[in-house]
């Protein structure tokens, strides 16, 4: 039987039994017929390195294989490129050029959004996203200079929040209203006696003027009280919470 006569689904099923991913890579490189097998790789990392032409090809690839990609890590792009392709279940942006204008992203099934701006204090830009397009969001992990909070209240499914800013900001009251919240750790300051409604809250690290209260029986009292300090970047593997 010729390779061209083998159904794509059958080849993908065969790949599920190949535990050495390097062998799959060589299989893909061996023939153009196997280019579609790029869809087998669910976790993709892309670093622009100033090559816009390659990034255009990358966007086309992501658009073509959007149903397969689960985690996408991108370094060194302009923030506005996010509006050009469907965002995956997990999106990680590192050292990207964040612009102050709002980015019009497409409706997305993204559950995890991580943005790490290594030069935040130098860039002094604002993360400005159409949060209403991220209604499936569960994990929000931001290390940026500043953020526009407008619309985050629409992300009703959110469970994990870590927001580390390079500028002083007040924490909006609605952060206490997320029903599924398990962890919140932020450099923002609260000036209100917030009551967190989630019964699943485990970690609550917020600088505050008044003590907090919570429906949760598992969050430490010290987290709800005053003068509790902790480096929020010391929290690892946020999804484990």
Give the tens place of pLDDT for each residue, 110-136. 999 999 987 777 778 888 888 999 999
pTM of model > 0.75: yes
- The pLDDT tens digits for 14-65 are 655 655 555 555 555 454 444 445 545 677 777 765 555 566 767 777 766 6
Backbone angles phi, psi at 102, to 5 degrees: -65, 135
Block residue for tokens 């409604």: 197
Domain spans of the chain? 1-41, 43-240
Class of domain 43-240: alpha beta
Block residue for tokens 């629409």: 154
Query: How far from the centroid of its chain's Cα atoms is residue 217's Cα?
Result: 28
- Alpha carbons within 13 angstroms on the beta-carbon side of residue 117 total 25
Block residue for tokens 């919470």: 241
CB contact at 8 A, 164 and 142: yes
* β-pair type (146-147, 139-144): unpaired
Q: Say what the pLDDT of residue 33 is.
A: 47
3-state secondary structure of 50: coil
């Amino acid at each position: 039987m010729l390779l061209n006569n083998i159904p794509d689904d059958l080849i993908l099923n065969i790949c599920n039994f190949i535990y050495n991913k390097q062998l799959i890579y060589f299989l893909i490189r061996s023939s153009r017929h196997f280019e579609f097998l790029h869809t087998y790789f669910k976790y993709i990392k892309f670093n622009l390195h100033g090559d816009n032409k390659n990034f255009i090809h990358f966007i086309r690839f992501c658009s073509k294989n959007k149903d397969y990609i689960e985690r996408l890590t991108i370094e060194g792009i302009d923030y506005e490129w996010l509006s050009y392709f469907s965002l995956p279940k997990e999106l990680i942006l590192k050292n990207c050029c964040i612009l102050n204008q709002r980015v019009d992203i497409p409706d997305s099934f993204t559950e995890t959004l991580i943005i790490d701006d290594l030069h935040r204090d130098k860039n002094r830009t604002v993360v400005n996203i159409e949060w209403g397009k991220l209604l499936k969001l569960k994990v929000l992990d931001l290390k940026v200079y500043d953020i526009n909070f407008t619309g985050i209240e629409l992300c009703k499914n959110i469970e994990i929040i870590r927001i580390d800013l390079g500028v002083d900001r007040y924490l909006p009251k609605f952060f206490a209203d997320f029903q599924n919240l398990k962890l919140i750790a932020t450099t923002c300051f609260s000036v209100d006696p917030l009551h967190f409604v989630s019964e699943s809250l485990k970690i609550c690290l917020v600088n505050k003027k008044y003590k907090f209260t919570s429906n949760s029986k598992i969050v430490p009292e010290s987290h709800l009280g005053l003068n509790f300090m902790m480096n929020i970047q010391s929290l690892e593997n946020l999804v484990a919470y």
